Structure 1
Amino acid sequence: MSRLAFIVPAAFVCLAGALPAAAQEKPTLRVAVSQSLSPPFVIWRDAQPVGGFDVDLVRAIAQQLRLDVELLPLPRPRVEAALASGDADLACNITPARRDAALPGPVLFETQDLLLGHEATMAPDSPEQLPPGSAVGTAQGQAHARLEPLFTDGRLKRDEAQSDEKLLRKLALNRHPYGVSSQPVVSWYTSTEPIDGLAPWRLQLGSRPYRCLVSARGRVEARQLIAAIEQLQDRGRVQQLLAGHVSAPMAVVVSISSPLRGITRQTLTEIFLGQRIRLRDGSAPEPVMTNAAAEREQFFNTVLRRPAAEYRSAWAAQQFGGRRRAPPELAGAEAIKSHLQRHAGAIGYLPLSLVDASLRIVFLP
């Protein structure tokens, strides 16, 4: 009995000593990151995702669940396969090609798809106005509902690029005359890493939901992942993270009946500072301003990239001699929108969210 009494406690002590070590092992959230994603969603360094909104979001999800994170960069076609097999627990910011590959998380926000073109192209007012057979660049694996029927019946040709960045660079070289990407990506490249050769016009193609896909076979239980994402959204954490990477864009617009199709930043600045009256085609756009301080400041900072003081001094000099009057100031964005709709010769600026089919985007930073 004494020998047995000695063996049993020893085994118990050995097992008890192993349990705390196992309990201390922290589970890992495995996140598949599509190599087709671009800034501001994913920032890459040495082929590894190191920053951007997507990376911050999955880290916040992992923190919510008290998990470590492992980022798995994969070619776009392999992302859904990894989710379906359980080799990855989560993937964000992709349009699923297979409905059975993963469970959809909640829609966190909407991103605006934009059609843009090489600088030699004219701005269309709808995709149907593109020349038949035109090649349109798209990011690998990304579907665009507004264009899919035109691709299917052959009126337009899809030219897939491995990423949005490669799409934009091919567009700048006129490898394809048109391309489609999300507004945050386009604005990031035009402001952070400018790409020469792109036309200033943009055409809205509708919004696309941003969500994460959750593996039903992953190591982390799907319902826990979805619940964590919903909690982050309810607490406002998702919008807080998004605001750190994406700002609400300000578009320069004209009436759809205006002859103006596109305008460069330099020409736009000259018009709003009163340094130019007529364009090369002989037209004379009539600028209008808003008296809303926040939108006015954003226009100077992100569109003209000039201080408000320069605008005031430029017009003060011209008004002193009675030569010209400064642009009229209207009471807010809705007033500007109404003015532009009624005056084909006017040009103004609006938050992109207020631009509809009655207006044409001639410049978007």
Structure 2
Amino acid sequence: MPFLLVALLLLTGAAAADERPLRFSVSESWAMPMMHIENGQATGGILYDLQTRLAQKVGRQANQLVMPRKRVQQMLVRGEIDVRCYVNPTWLQESHHQYIWSVPFMIQRDLLVAPTPTLIRPEQLHDEVIGTVLGFSYSRLEPLFASGQLQRDDARTQALTLSKLSVGRNHYAVSNELALAWYNRQRPANQPLYPVEQLSEDLVACIVRDEPDVPTMALLRALVRMKQDGEFDAILARYR
């Protein structure tokens, strides 16, 4: 093999090895099956698998940074996060013009949940304390919180919100559909928490920082391929 060709291959390999990991944000409020966090480290879950696979597809490592939700927002504004997944435009307080939206990869459904089976709309409730997640906004409930008809009881994570409901701290709480199903899997079969009313249904996607040090278009194309090839559905199926 000619010397110049060998040198070129060595340089190319070294450049690829020197490429820094991609920085993915992980909100510490996430719960299984979306994300398992242990000792401040992301270790598993739907989003962990998705983000790890996404980085692999562009030849990078995934640095999954666990942090409070408010810090995620601050780092996005400063461009210190390369990819944020599991987000909807209506959930963001800023425009984040330096980021590009990916195709949606799943639907999140937020549910009003209770310890007993019942059917009731939140607008029919009065003077109830609703279990919620700190920093999360619930569009259908916000007017009821603002008027004082209902009160929030914030917990740090989605799992803690459901735990407080199960021990009787509240009569109702809000949970996304997947977190509720996962939580019920860990409970005795005769003690599930029940969905009362669907509050919202939102498409969720990723945002990718559009800067020269990020393979932005390659990441966006990889997400399209993962969706088309059924890779995300396969990840989701592992946690159902």
- Short-chain TM bin: 0.7 to 0.9
Amino acid at match of 1:100: S
Which residue of 86, 95, 103 corresponds with 1:100? 95
Partner of 1:222: 216
Change (3 A) 1:222 1:244: same
Q: Deviations over 1:291-310 (max 9, x none)?
A: xxxxxxxxxxxxxxxxxxxx
Q: Deviations over 1:5-58 (max 9, x none)?
A: xxxxxxxxxx99x95544542331111100000001101222211111000001
Partner of 1:76: 69
Partner of 2:22: 29
The structure having more radius of gyration, on CA atoms, is 1
Superposition deviation, residue 125 in structure 1: 2.5
CA contact (8 A) 2:184 2:192 kept: no
SS, match of residue 145 in structure 2: helix
1:177 paired to 2:174: no
1:161 paired to 2:158: no
* Superposition misfits of 4+ residues, deviation over 4 angstroms: 193-199
Q: Which runs of 5+ in 2 are unaligned?
A: 1-6
Q: Which runs of 5+ in 1 are unaligned?
A: 1-14, 247-365
Partner of 1:109: 106
Superposition deviation, residue 127 in structure 1: 1.1
Q: Percent identity?
A: 29
- CA RMSD for the aligned pairs? 2.8
SS, match of residue 34 in structure 2: coil
CA contact (8 A) 2:109 2:200 kept: yes
Question: How many residues are matched?
Answer: 229
Change (3 A) 1:53 1:59: same
Q: Deviations over 1:151-183 (max 9, x none)?
A: 233322222211111111121233332110111
CA contact (8 A) 2:114 2:173 kept: yes
The TM-score normalised by the length of structure 1 is 0.56
Change (3 A) 1:26 1:216: closer
Change (3 A) 1:129 1:194: same
CA contact (8 A) 1:115 1:203 kept: yes
1:274-353 matched pairs, under 5 angstroms: none
Partner of 1:62: 55
The structure showing larger relative contact order (alpha-carbon pairs under 8 Å, at least 6 residues apart) is 2
Which residue of 142, 146, 153 corresponds with 1:148? 142
SS, match of residue 202 in structure 1: strand
SS, match of residue 141 in structure 1: coil
Which residue of 13, 34, 41 corresponds with 1:41? 34
Change (3 A) 1:112 1:22: closer
- Cα distance in 2 for partners of 1:156, 1:36 equals 22
Q: Deviations over 1:98-145 (max 9, x none)?
A: 2323443221121221111245xx734211111x23111122232223
- Cα distance in 2 for partners of 1:124, 1:188 equals 22
1:129 paired to 2:124: yes
- Cα distance in 2 for partners of 1:37, 1:97 equals 16
The TM-score normalised by the length of structure 2 is 0.83
